[in-house]
Every structure is written in C-alpha cells, then in structure tokens.
Amino acid sequence: MKELLHKDEKKVEYLELIYDLIFVYIIGRNNSLLHHTSDGKIQGEMMLAYVLCTLAVIQIWNFSTYYINVCGKNGLREHIFLFTNMFLLYFVAEGTSEHWQTHHTQYHAAWGLILLNIALQYVIEMKGKPRSSWKIHILVTLIAEALLVFAMIPIYKLTGKDFSYVPIVFGIISASIPAAAENRSDVDFAHLSERAMLYVVFTFGEMVIAIAGYFKGSFSFNNIYFALFAFLIVVGLFLSYGTFYDKIIDREQQNSGLVYMFLHIFIIFGLNNITTSLEFMRDEKIELVQKITLLLISFVMYYIFLLLTLRFAKLTCKLRLSFYLRLAAITVSFAALMILSRKQMYINIAISAAYVFVLYAIIYRIGKKNSESVHH
C-alpha cells in the first residue's frame, strides 16, 4: 500500500512524441477531404469519409496511448510495435483522399493490422501473469473491432457500400464499458491527461497552419481584419483548453481515464471541424448556410465535450445548474447572431471571436477561483 501511495508519475517518453508525428500528418489529410466541394457545397460522400477517417484515427491513437499508459516500459518491444504501427499508418493516410474508394482495401487492411498489433502487445503482456478482467475486455474489443474492420473489405466489394462506422461505434461503446471501474491504481491518469493534451496541441498546430491563409495577399485593412480575428479565435480556444488542463482538471486522481479519453475524441474532432470552418469562412465559393452551420456545430461540439470533462475537475470546481443555463443562453444568442449576420463575414468572424473570449473569461474565472481555494 505504501508503494501505491508513492507511485512515481509516468513520464511521456520521446518515443510517444515521435509516434504522434504521424497523426499530425493524418490530421491534415483528414481535413483536406472537406475541401473537395461541388457548386459551393461540401459533398456528402466526402463529409462521411471525413467523419469516419477522423474518428478511426483518433480511436487508434487512444488504444495505443492507453496500452502505453498501463503496460508501457519504453523497451525494445514497444519501439518495434510502435514503429510498425507508424509504417501502417502511412497506408491509412494515403487512403485518406478524394478517391478513397480506390484505397478502401489498403486502408482497412492497415487499420485492422494496427488494432491486432496493439492486441498482440496485450497478449504478450498478460502471458504468465494474473489476468485482469478489464485487460481481457480491452483485448477482446481490439480483436473484435479488427475482425469487423477486415469484414468491411469484402462487404464493400460485394455491395459497393461502406459500413466503416460499425467497427468505430463498436470500439467506442465497448472500450467505454469498463469505465464504471473509475478507480484503478494501475492507470496513471496524469500521464493520460498529458498525452491527451499533447494531441490537442498538435491539433491546434494544424489550426495555426490553416489560418496562415488569412495572412496571404495584399497588406490591406480587409486582410489584417480577418487575419486578426481568425488568430484571436485560435488563441481563445487554446486558452480555454489550457485553463481546463492547468487549473481545473484534477490530474492526481485515481481514475480509469477511459471516459476522459472518450471525451477527447470529440474535443479533437470538434477542433478539426473548427479548423476547416475557419478556412471556409474566407472562401466565397462555399455556400453560406453550410459554412455557418459547420462553424456553429463545431464550436458547440468543442465546448460541450470540454465542459463534460468537469466530471474530472477538482472538488472546488463543482458548478450549479445556473452556470450551465447561462452558458446555454450565451450559445443560443451566439447562434442567432451568426445566422442573422450570415451574409456579413466582417460581423460574423468578430461575433465568433467575441463568443470564444466570453466563454474563455467564464472558464478563466473558474480556474482562478479553484487556484485561490487550493492556496488557501
């Protein structure tokens, strides 16, 4: 028991950061899918491919990170398995394109092999050791999802229809089942939260690159105006997440971390959507209704799932129902103003920046009160 109480925090290894670099590349590939428009509209097929590819890749990252957290020893075996997955992820990235149909087989073959790769590590880890029920559950989940992924190949060839959402939904639901066992001494929640934060930072990195387009062209008031507000939106979003990570989330708790990682699937997905929305905002070829709708949904998704991480907050951060009602009123007002000003991009982007910083101010106050109560 004494050793458990004084367990050293697991550090993020350099190998994990190298592994993440391939995901940075794939984020860009995923976002590019939505840029294949027709008559100013996002193609439904491309939107579906974008959603599925984004969720599949984030899920792969989640499974890998969770294994490293619980069983990782930064040894030669892990190096081999991680670099093997990096190699396979290049085939996934190549299949993430406008002509994804022609890469369907290689995409799913690589995806399935990655899941089996992680499953094999669990098999090796459990060999000759007491078998934990939740480890067996994760192992079965990985194998079952891999089989579903492989099954998508003949199904697509026979029917011409893609059902890739089936293994994704199965994996998310099945992996979340053991989350009821919240307190786990063999899971380092601090490490999991740090890994999730780093993935979010990489996602913001893609957003920073995306808004570089606002700075192109002549040095004019119009360009400076839009570049400034696009930059402020990114800053406000980042500061909001940073406040949660630094000031609000209790990183020292004993927790399975499965729900926390699940929430980050949609936080990252929301950020990816915001990145694309910001690119569309300055593109006059994109239909107004679609670009405004995508932006609104993206913002709401990001903040909803960010706020849901409050279940992992320090005890001093417990909030009343009135707080959530106030946020809902602010969001409804924001949506109404965005719709009313949909033809005025000057007003639209300024309202978006104002909304982001109003919510950041609220989040900052929560973090500040928490810090003050901790020090006292």
Single-letter amino acid code for the residue at 330: I
Tens digit of each residue's pLDDT (9 = 90 or more) over 245-300:
988 888 887 777 778 888 888 899 899 889 888 887 776 777 777 788 888 999 99
Which residue in this structure is represented by tokens 């190998």? 15
Higher pLDDT, 188 or 85: 85
What tokens appear for 238 in the block? 């980042």
Sign of the C-alpha dihedral computed for residues 194, 298, 61 and 202 taken in this order: negative
Residues 100 and 231: their CA atoms lie apart, in Å, by: 32
Joined together, the tokens standing for residue 137 give 């559950």
Over residues 89-105, the mean pLDDT reads: 85
pLDDT of residue 209: 85
Instruction: Please state, in angstroms and rounded to a whole number, the distance separating the CA atoms of residues 37 and 133.
Output: 47
pLDDT-derived band at 356, boundaries 50, 70, 90? very high
How crowded is residue 236: how many other Cβ atoms within 10 Å of its Cβ?
20
| pLDDT value of position 89 | 92
Please work out, in degrees rounded to the nearest 5, the angle formed at the alpha carbon of residue 163 by the alpha carbons of 277 and 93: 55
CA-CA distance, 355 to 10, in Å (whole number)? 37
Q: What was the pLDDT predicted at 374? A: 54
pLDDT digits (tens, 9 = 90+) for 62-84: 889 888 888 878 778 888 888 99
Could you tell me which residues come within 8 angstroms of residue 153 by beta carbon, excluding any fewer than 6 positions away? 104, 105, 108, 109
Per-residue pLDDT at 99: 79
- Give the pLDDT band (50/70/90) at residue 4: very low
Selected residue with higher pLDDT from 119 and 31? 119
Return d(Cα 175, Cα 89) in angstroms, integer: 21
Mean pLDDT: which of 197-201, 211-215, 302-306 is highest?
Answer: 302-306
- Give dist(CA 161, CA 184) in Å, integer: 41
Q: What is the mean pLDDT of residues 164-187?
A: 73
What pLDDT sits at residue 316? 65
Mean pLDDT over 20-25 rounds to 84
pTM value is 0.82
Of 276, 324, 320, give the one whose Cα is nearest residue 304: 324
Q: pLDDT at residue 58 above 80?
A: yes
Structure tokens at 44: 């439904």
Residue 330 is predicted with a pLDDT of 93
For 234, what's the count of Cα atoms within 13 Å in the CB-facing half-sphere? 25
Coil vs helix vs strand at 176: helix
Name residue, tokens 């991480």: 309
Give the pLDDT confidence score for residue 221 in this predicted structure: 82
* Tens of pLDDT, residues 207-234: 888 888 778 777 778 778 888 988 999 9
**In 3-state terms, what secondary structure has residue 31?**
helix
CB-CB contact of 183 with 255 (8 Å): yes
Mean per-residue pLDDT of the chain: 83
1: pLDDT confidence band, cut at 50, 70 and 90?
very low
Residue range 129-143, pLDDT digits in tens: 766 677 788 888 999
